[in-house]
Amino acid sequence: MRIKRIVLALSITAAAGGLSACGTSVPSPAPTSAAAEAAPAAQAVPQFGSACSAVPTSGPGSFSGMATDPVATAASHNPVLSTLVTAVKKANLVDTLNSAQNITVFAPANAAFDKIPPATLNKVLADNATLTKILTYHVVGQKITPAELASGDFKTLEGASLKTSGSGQDFTINGVSRVICGNVQTANATVYIIDSVLMPPAKTPAS
């Protein structure tokens, strides 16, 4: 009886060892995640410019974070663009910008607004019509690549056109405002952060 129990125990041990060996012969696939798969796409488009270092390196306000949100929401997470976001909210343009598709936004950094005398800036922020006119002059209804900035003439949502020029990583808009962080991607827009606020040309009265 004792011999039978020993034989039975040895059989069970051998079977367990066989199952273990079989288990190691078929490796399990490595787990994947949507975030891991999306990471290369988020990093595919490089940004450029001296002010890019001021953009957060992680979180919703980072380049990868902004890429997942529509443009007005993305800008609201970026401390470099806080004054612009305040202006966009005052002009009630958040939904307009977030719902637009394939646009380009020339986004003045906070330092760009600092160039405007406080009294003048406060007056503009209090005048919805003027503020809307200025902000929509910074938006083009198509996605613009850095190559297209070299010599461009683009119609804005305001109605007037703006001109771009430059090469490499050095571009200007209307000859006065420089791109300081370019090719920033959001879910629905390409953003070029600029160092001066653009002013739409005065309309000539019809004769």
Taking residues 89-110, report their average pLDDT. 97
| CA–CA dist 64, 124 (Å, integer) | 33
Per residue in 72-85, pLDDT (tens digit) is 999 999 999 999 99
Cα–chain-centroid distance for residue 104? 11
What sign has the CA pseudo-torsion 121, 48, 185, 150? Answer: positive
49-61 pLDDT, tens digit per residue, is 999 999 999 999 9
Homologous superfamily of the 47-194 domain (CATH): FAS1 domain (2.30.180.10)
Q: How confident is the model at residue 202 (pLDDT cuts 50, 70, 90)?
A: confident
Closest of 147, 142, 157, 143 to residue 185, by C-alpha: 143
Two structure tokens written together for 85: 């976001």
pLDDT of residue 148: 96
Those residues whose C-beta lies under 8 Å from the C-beta of residue 112, and which sit 6 or more positions away, are 177, 194, 195, 196, 197
Specify the 3-state DSSP secondary structure of 192: strand
